[in-house]
Structures are given as C-alpha cells and as structure tokens.
Structure 1
Amino acid sequence: MKKRLLSLALCGALLCGALAGCGGNETTSASQEPSSSQAAEESKILTTAVGAELNTLYPLNMDVQNNIGTKLCYEGLVNYEIGDIVPCLAESWEFSDDGTALTFHLKEGVTFHDGTPFNAEAVKTDFEFAHPNPNFSNISAVAKLESIEVVDEYTVTFHYPNAYFAYLMDFCYPETMVLVSPAVLEEGNYQSMNGVVGTGPYVYEEIVDGDYVRFVRNENYWGEQPYYDEVIVKYIPDASARLQALQSGEIDLIYGSALLTWDDYQQATSLPNIAGAVAESDSKTRNLVLNASGVLSDLKVREAVAYAIDKETLSEGLTYGEETPADHLFPDGIPYTDVELNVIRTYDPEKANALLDEAGWVINESTGIREKDGQALSLKYTYDSGDALNKSLATAVKSQLAAVGINVETEGQEMMTWWQEGVAGNYDLIMWNTEQPYTSPHNYFIPMLSRSPHVPSLPAVEGSDEFLALIEEFQTTDDSARVQEIFDQLLNFDNDNVLDLPLLFVKDMIVYNTDKIAGYDFSSTPMFFDVRLIQPAE
C-alpha cells in the first residue's frame, strides 16, 4: 500500500498555488533549464525524474513518487536506521517511568528555510496543528496526544493517556512526521499550506508546471552541506521516455520500484554508461487483500486463491528473482512478526481445484470458468496504476487464477480512486502493500479499525470482533511480552482466514548515469531516496 497515511481520501486539494508562493519565480512556460550535462559545467546539478508531478509537496499529500522530495526539504525529530531510532532534530529523548510522557531534547541553532527558529514552541505548534487532523487518526503518537508541554526553549514533552510500545516509532515517518515552519500553517486547513518550508538540506526554489521542480542547497543547513548545488526533479510520465532521458543525459538517475519495473532495470543496465544497484533489505510486501464480504465470503474459495498463485513464477518471471516470494505478511527483521503460522500455503493447483469443488463451484466446460447457482466465479482486482509493476503483477495473477477456473477482471486506478474504492469495499482483490519497517506491524493493523479495505471485509469473518479488540489492546501497552502475544494472534487470524495474501517482498533499486554518479548507498528505508547517499563520479 502507498499508505504513509490511510487518509489520503481527505486530501483533495493540490498545492500548486502554495508552491507558487513559497520559493523562486514560477513559470508555466516550457522549460528553459540547461541539460544535466551543460548545467554541470557551471555548478553541481543532479537531475532525476518522476512519473507524477511534484505539485503536492505538503507532507500529508505526498504519494510514493513524491518521496523523492521528502528528504530534500524536510526533517523529523528522529530517523530510523537499521533497526534503531537515531537522532535528527531531536538530540535525545526519554520516557517517563509510567510510559505516558515522551520528552525530546532538541538540536539548537537550527532554522527553517524562512528564517523561523526551530525550537520547542515550533514543535508544539506543528503537532498541536496535526492533532485534530483526521489524516493522523492512525498515528497514535499524534492521535492520542493529551497535551504538549514546552519545558524550555529546546525541550518539549508529549503527554499521553497511556503507555504504548510504538509512540517513538511513529515519529520515524519521514514524509508525514516532519517539521514545517509554523508560518506556513493555517488553522483548520489540512489540505494545503502557505509554502514548502522545512529544515532540510535543500530549499524549494521553483516549479514549472508539467516539466520540473527545482531545489537549491540550503546554505544555512545545520548539518553537513550536501554535494550538489541543485536538484532538479523532472516530470516524465512515460517509462520508456524516462529511460531515453537517462541514456541521453537529460536526467542522471531513476530511483525506486514505483518508477522502474525489473524489465526497465535490466534494459537500463544493459546500456553503455548506465549502471544500477539493488537494495539489500526488503522495503515492504506486495500484498493482496481479499474481500470476505462478497464472492470470496467462503474461506475455501479464499484458500483456493492462495493455493492457485505461484509466487516463485511471479518472482522469476516479473523480477528476475530479485523480489523473493513472501511467506509471511512482513519481511524478515520486523519487530513482533517472527511468528509461527498455524497454516502454510504453497502453490498447489490441485488443492485449489479441490477446494473450489468442495465449495460448489463447477467448471463450465464451454468457458473454462467456474459457476455456482448460475453465477460465474469472477473477481474484481484493483491496483494503483502509479506503481510500475502493478499492472504486470495483476496480469500474471489473472492468468494463474484462470488456470483453476477463476475469472479475474483487473482495473488500474489513479491513487486516490484506488484508495477510496478500496476503503469502500468495491473490490474482490486489491493490491495493498505493507509499509516500512518502523510502521510495521502496528500501523498496518490499526487502520483495520477505521479506514482500510479490511474494514468492509472483516464483519463477514467469524471471530473478527475479538481480532479488532486485540488491535485496540496493543495500543494501550508497552509490555513487550504482551505485545508479542497479541501479534502472534493477529498474524495467525489474518493468515488462517486469508484476509491478506502476501506475494513478493519488494526490493528498491536505482539506475544512474556513470558519467555523473559512481554509486548509491541505500538506507535502511530504501523506498526513500536520499541525495546525500549518492557517490558522485570524480
């Protein structure tokens, strides 16, 4: 899922107007900027591309392709690195003995891009603004706030009604739990802001509609100055055009699994002067949610779907084996998810056929599709069309399910439509990926209480009330043993009832022009591009 927040349906307004007012001169004319190679002779400029316009740089409204702008402009109190939470704008922190108060000690001498001081008052203003925002309803560190106390200029305490094991983890979101200048906030306006103003290493400079966004180095940055003077993010919606732009030198790199299929990656790295790299760690899981409230109400049919899908073939055929078959909902290394499952389902079309027979779905010899009581076994499969691999993956799953007599109608949807339709239950199968390590598993399950495709599905599943009660309970404890017990039960209930069907563990990748770039060091959150991790070519 693209679910940095499961509330994107509330974010209807785009930010073009705000972008125009917060940096350099905006123009809607054709781009006049020099090519990457020409500009590099005058200053160090990095140029990359996205498939969706960066016209929504307000943190709450970013989609996965906008993640490339996240770490340019914004920073949070803490970061997630290789399983640990490390300082960023907060130098240290501690919890009260009862776990209900979290105190941050802030870095001194930091200013926002507009000159506003970063201090405890700014933190208080930002998170008090966020607290009533329904977009934060699934992030407990904000949603459950009782009060924020300014202890002194650089010390701030967040007060909560109860202890919770994941409060600090919630502050690791690099695209939503970031600090913006209080000057850009407008009370009650949760869909736009009066500028793109953070504390990050780059400052938003200009947008040329339909062409590019330019960021310039923050000369007052508190940390180490980045190598590149400017970063230009070009809008190139067509995948083949992006590869051509890379080959010609118009852009220097393409980053991430949302923009590149593995065929794209293979094609790019076969070109002269183009190299690539793949992250070692998995980013998330390509996952299907099955709607138990409709055609898939019979557990035997949901199980048949699981047995009919050959994940090894998906891995080899679509990703050249780079993305490995997912045998659990979350990749290895995620806290509380190393759970022994009651049921392990591997590819077994004979088992799938037998289950469908038992469920009363009989093959129509003339169509090859199973029928029951005059109804064909046909499933609606929806996916976000903005993710590069989703269409090919849907086509492959359609073919595999057809082999056991299940018809699948696939439908790629624009992200907002996909999210809204999923939450409304207008699907039988929906591609709904898990999230990053610091948000899993807690922030995958919490939306099941309010806004996720699971919400319309769960009432049809026996035992779902107890399942939902466990989700409520884990938000009220920091007892790690009890938390583990709860996730043992949640993950097994989910798997037993085939609420989710994990397919592949996602790997992110980069392709780049070797004339400009020597390599890239992936972070432990590889879905987020960080310009500071580029190794420039000498």
Structure 2
Amino acid sequence: MKKRSRMFRIQIGWLTAALATIVLLSGCGSNETAANAPSSSLPSQDAKTDVDKQVTVAVAADPALDQLDAGAYKGAIEVHPMVYDSLVEYGEKGSIVPSLAESWDISEDGKTYTFHLRQGVVFSDGTAFNADAVKFSFDRWIGDPANSSLNVSKGLKEIKVIDEATIRFEFGEAYYPLLTELTFARPVRIISPTAVEPAGDPKGKFAKPIGTGAWVVDSYEKDQEAVLVRNPNYWGEAPRLSKIILKVIPDAQARVLALQSGSVDIAGGQSGKIPAENLELLKSDDKLSIQRSAGTSSHFLIYNYDRASLQDVNVRQAINLAIDKKGIVDKLLEGAGSEAHGLFPLTVPYVTESNNEWYGYDEDRARQLLREAGYADSDGDGIMDKDGKPLELSLVLQQTEYPEWKPIAEYVQAQLLKAGIRIRLRMLESNAYYDALWTSREYDLIIYRTYSDAYNPHAFLLSLFHSTGDTPAVAWSDSLLESLIDEAVASTDIRQRQAKYDAWFKRAREQAIYAPLYYPDDIYAVNKRVKNFKLGYASFSPIVWNELDVSK
C-alpha cells in the first residue's frame, strides 16, 4: 500500500576506501517524497534594470544554439541546463533536489514515480508549464533508439497526467539511478509545446529553444559567439548577470591570450580547456585567479577489440605496464590531476580502494608479457614482431577539446616504443574523431574520457561497455561484463549492487580491457572582475551561472 512521507531526498554518498552508502532519507520504507524547495520568486526590479552586467566565456567549439533541442543531443551540453529545467536536479555530492517537481513519491516496488509539479511556472515565451507540457517533452524522445542506454526511456511503460500539477511514470522494472537520469542535461529536460512546428505535436520539428530556465537565447553567430540573456519569466531567483556571451575560440593558446587581454572573463573546464603548460603563466597574472577542484572523470585508452593483436590479454596488459601514469601527471600536466589507478577516480560512486587496483609501471614486465604472447625483436630494429608482422598500432586523438592529448599521446608513443610497440599517431578534427569512436571504429587505440558525476558509473558503463540492440559495445564487448552491469542497475539492495560493481571492476582488470592514464582536475581561469564564481555540481552545469556577478 502506498503512502506519503514528509520528506524525500536521495543523496549519493561518494565511496572512498570503505564503502559508503547511498543515503535515502525517507519517512517510511521505500515510499519516498521530496522536500519542498524554497518558494519561487520573480526577478527583482534591480535585476530587470541592471542591463550592463555581463561576462564573456571562452568555449572551444561552436555551441550550435540553433539546434538546442531539449530532447536531442545537439547544441552545447552546458547550455541545455541554462535554458531548460528538469523535474529534479543534481545537487551537492549527488543529492537529488527539487526543480520543476517540488516533490515526488516512489512506490514500494520501485516501479511507479509520481511527481508533484511546481505551480505558477511559465516558459520563457509565457506559455504555461504543466503536466501536459512534461508529457509532451517526454513523448518526443521516449522509445528513440538513440536513448536506449537510458532506462527512463527503455524501461518506461506509461506516462499518465493525473491533473495539471501531477504526473505519473510507470516503469517495467526497478532501476536505482532513475532519478539521477532525470537530472541529465538531455534529453530529459522540459521544452515548451510551442517550441516545435506544428505546436504541441510530439513529432513536430524543433523550431526554437523555449524552456523555463534562467536564460534564453538572444543571438547566435555560428563559429563566432552565442549570447544568452536573463529570462524575465524565470520562476526562481533572478540571475545577477544580465548577459552571458559564449565566445568561440578553438585554439587553446588563443584562449590564454584572450584571458590575458581581458577580451574573455572565463576560460577552462571541459568546454574551453586551458593547457597545463600555461597555468603558471596565468597564475602570475594579477588580473586573473585560478579555480581548481578534483574531478570525477578520467582519461584512458580504448582498445579496438576487433584487432587481432589486441585480442591477446598479454598485449593489453603489456600496454598498461609500459605507460608511466605518474609521469604524465608530473611531466605534462604540471600536477593538474592525479595518476589513474583504474577507470574511475575514487570520487565516483561504488569505486573503492579495493576494486580500483590497476597495473603499475613496469617496462621489463611489459616486454616479458609480449614475449609470452609470441612476440620477439627478430630483426633487431627495436620493434617486437610476430609471424613477420611488427607490433604496430594506430592511436587516434583530437586536440580541439583536449589540447593536452597531443603531448600525452606523444609521451605514450615514446614509452610504448621502449617496450617494442610502434605507435602511429592520427590527429583528427573533432567530428572525424567522434565518428571514428562511435561509428567507423577506424582505430587501434583511441584516447577518450569517462563522463562525469551524474553519469558515473552506471551510464558510462552502459554507454561504452554494453551492447545496444544488435549493435556491439563501443569500447569492449564482453557478455559477462554486460550481465554484471545489468544486475547492478536493477538491484534495490545497495550491498548486492556494490558486489556487482566489484565483480565488474575485477573482471575488467583481469582482462585489461582499457588503459587508464590520468584523472584531470577541473580548472578555470577567471578575471577578478567576476564575483561569486562557484563550480557547479555536474559537468553539464560546470558553473553556478545564476550567482555570478561582476564588479561595478
């Protein structure tokens, strides 16, 4: 039997050396509701008239705001949460906090979620927000194969509008990260029925970005800049800034120069990374401050499991052992990160000291493993060979989003050469790089990064290490690993769930199915005219935009 409790909050405890738990603060049993958020407020008169407060942010890639559909994967991911709200948001240390839903109930079997919506909210064009708008937003993408890794898509059986302020979601099975998925930047956020043509048609064509978020798109010039201004109809506390300008600067060194000249106020993070070699220079600039925090992502090498040489576990282990991960951090990142000991850092849920052990640095052992795999330097050229074929692999990378990848790839190339493996570097532009990763798989090795915060570990593992329909897994195909992650996400018992994740990481290590490199810190350089700079709780909300201010 179902009953309401006084307060609901899910809080994901980050796991360190000992297992922490996911905290479920509930009134009774598994039936849970959210605590009411502070009452909404309209923008103040000062906020409406203070039109000169703006900041300029450097971004590496075109934000594509003309394609910023809440239900799709186009447009800058960091802008989606600025324009579109979700039912719930990702809070500090993984807590699930109210947004457009003020509270919610979960049935005892974990299959039914009932959301009680915030009333009096309107979209930026004045259209009323209600349960019908929520259903419209979800109907646009539910069942799309592109969303098959999301249980909120593949597991959803029915959406029922109870009344204009209440909506119910029925799922086929329990799935512990469901509320976390509802915080994602896309496709779960709510868009106005007037944003498509014809209006109100879930199959209608996206026309313009209309959400309930604090910001609206003011102007956009492809590959140049995008301008967001304060939403005068925003239901929450009004942003202190009147305008945010996203300035496209693809070259990392050009972003550094723009910071020094004052033509941009903020650069860094995933959307406009700062080269590690420039950090000391920026630290010495008295106009700038450096903001840093430990991240939840990692960078690693993916193996193409279709390559014959990489199907040998000894070769995969040898590659791991031949790379000095600590050297990458100390020599190339200026200490702006830490050595990788596994696929995820300890800041990620279910990752512990015991399940995150990986391969150290041992060049002699790497060569021994290659010999055990049947390789030898038969012609004395320093490259191991087998059956007359040298052990030569391609390593694909891009530099637009991650400028540090080039020197890191060169470092890995030199280290693997010492172990007898020749690496050919292939630098691709961003679109070609992602095509190689997701579609053509034209690589032997490819540098990639895990997702951050809300996506880890479940969403990343499902996305990269799990088949989708008839499509094999992207990063590594292993039926046992797929069954373990399926069992983990379906478990309602945290101890059983932890055991499944432990087993997943153990098999991943035994099979050496990837090569971890480093855990990057999140680093920003900020002009000191910018006040109240605060890092966000999720990678898709990297900065608390609404609290930013500037000196008068």
TM-score category by the smaller chain? Answer: 0.7 to 0.9
1:343·1:496 contact (CA, 8 Å) conserved in 2? Answer: no
1:185 CA drift (Å)? 3.6
CA distance in 2, matches of 1:489, 1:416: 35
Cross-structure match for 1:404: 419
Cross-structure match for 2:168: 157
Aligned residue among 421, 437, 444 for 2:460: 444
1:287·1:432 contact (CA, 8 Å) conserved in 2? Answer: yes
Cross-structure match for 2:237: 224
1:112·1:118 contact (CA, 8 Å) conserved in 2? Answer: yes
Cross-structure match for 1:505: 519
CA distance in 1, matches of 2:103, 2:427: 44
Are residues 1:421 and 2:436 paired? yes
1:255·1:511 contact (CA, 8 Å) conserved in 2? Answer: yes
Are residues 1:271 and 2:290 paired? no
1:165·1:479 contact (CA, 8 Å) conserved in 2? Answer: no
1:458 CA drift (Å)? 4.4
Deviation per CA, 1:308-355: give whole Å up to 9, x if none. 111110011222112101112222232222262496311111111111
Deviation per CA, 1:472-506: give whole Å up to 9, x if none. 33343323222222111111111211112222112
- Tell me the matched-pair count: 490
Cross-structure match for 2:223: 210
Deviation per CA, 1:139-189: give whole Å up to 9, x if none. 111221101011121111111011111111111212432111122246676
Question: Which deviates more from structure 2 when the two are superposed, residues 326-335 or residues 134-143?
Answer: 326-335
1:293·1:457 contact (CA, 8 Å) conserved in 2? Answer: no
Cross-structure match for 2:55: 46
Deviation per CA, 1:436-477: give whole Å up to 9, x if none. 222211112223333599726645xxxx32322223333433
For normalisation by structure 1, the TM-score amounts to 0.85
Cross-structure match for 1:148: 159
RMSD, aligned CA: 2.5
Aligned residue among 455, 479, 487 for 2:473: 455
Cross-structure match for 1:116: 127
Cross-structure match for 1:75: 85
1:391 CA drift (Å)? 2.0
Which amino acid is the alignment partner of residue 500 of structure 1? Answer: Y
Question: Which deviates more from structure 2 when the two are superposed, residues 46-55 or residues 470-479?
Answer: 470-479
Cross-structure match for 1:84: 95
Are residues 1:196 and 2:209 paired? yes
Q: Highest relative contact order (Cα 8 Å, sep 6+), 1 or 2? A: 1
In structure 2, the CA distance between the partners of 1:533 and 1:358, relative to structure 1 (3 Å rule), is farther
Which amino acid is the alignment partner of residue 236 of structure 2? Answer: G
Which amino acid is the alignment partner of residue 261 of structure 1? Answer: P
In structure 2, the CA distance between the partners of 1:132 and 1:175, relative to structure 1 (3 Å rule), is closer
1:365 CA drift (Å)? 5.6
Deviation per CA, 1:249-298: give whole Å up to 9, x if none. 2211113145222123333232341221112x313111222223312111
Which amino acid is the alignment partner of residue 337 of structure 1? Answer: V
1:339-350 aligned at under 5 Å gives the runs 340-341=354-355, 344-350=358-364
Cross-structure match for 1:32: none
Cross-structure match for 1:327: 341
Cross-structure match for 1:523: 536
Cross-structure match for 2:499: 485
Aligned residue among 93, 105, 109 for 1:94: 105
Question: Which deviates more from structure 2 when the two are superposed, residues 356-365 or residues 219-228?
Answer: 356-365
What is the identity percentage for the equivalent residue pairs of Structure 1 and Structure 2? 29
CA distance in 2, matches of 1:220, 1:313: 51
SS where residue 473 of structure 2 aligns?
A: helix
CA distance in 2, matches of 1:203, 1:406: 52
Are residues 1:57 and 2:68 paired? yes
CA distance in 2, matches of 1:412, 1:454: 25
CA distance in 2, matches of 1:119, 1:315: 49
Cross-structure match for 1:138: 149
CA distance in 1, matches of 2:186, 2:523: 19
1:57 CA drift (Å)? 2.5
1:77 CA drift (Å)? 1.3
In structure 2, the CA distance between the partners of 1:469 and 1:83, relative to structure 1 (3 Å rule), is same
Which amino acid is the alignment partner of residue 466 of structure 2? Answer: L
